Amino acid sequence: MSVNIVDHQYQDVAAGTGSLPFIISPGAEYLLTSFFLQVNNINNRIEIKATIGWEAQLLLLTIVPKLLFRIRRGGTAAPAPIIYQTTDSAFIGTRDEGPWVSLDFTTAFQHTEMATAALVGTFQQYALTVEHIGQNSVTITGPVHLDGTVYL
């Protein structure tokens, strides 16, 4: 059985370009990027990959930045349904001889879903968002990459 690509889209936001970098604080969901994919068959498989560069803020106190990354279908914020979410965090502490920290982090993940009858014949928006659910502030530095492929 062969696999055919029905649609493929991606968005890249390079570090230091566009809206990057930007600081996020706990409590709000921020749109990172989005694209539209065509779903034309109940047998379509939709694969989405994301990579996000971010940086924790250095403090003298121990902090635990924790980010919640989401993929939403059909819009860029609630009430668009969340089809996938994952968290990433970094423990940043101090040692006796001073701060010990690696400030730059990269989060990468992949999600695959099957088409449903409601999606067939539509162009669906897939949005990558982030919400800071930890402490202190975090900077989304980039690059931000979102890649989507529809297979038959």
Q: Can you say whether the dihedral through the CA atoms of 135, 88, 103, 100 is positive or negative?
A: positive
Distance CA 30, CA 70 (A): 10
Lowest mean pLDDT among 4-8, 15-19, 51-55, 81-85: 15-19
Looking at the predicted structure, is the pLDDT value of residue 109 above 70?
yes
Lowest mean pLDDT among 18-22, 27-31, 116-120: 18-22
Measure CA 62 to chain center: 25
Which residues share a beta bridge with 26?
Answer: 132
Which residues share a beta bridge with 13?
Answer: 144
Distance CA 123, CA 5 (A): 15
- Would you place residue 100 in the very low, low, confident or very high pLDDT band (cuts 50, 70, 90)? very low
CB 14 within 8 A of CB 143: yes
DSSP designation for 20: -
Distance CA 125, CA 38 (A): 9
**Mean pLDDT on 70-80:** 94
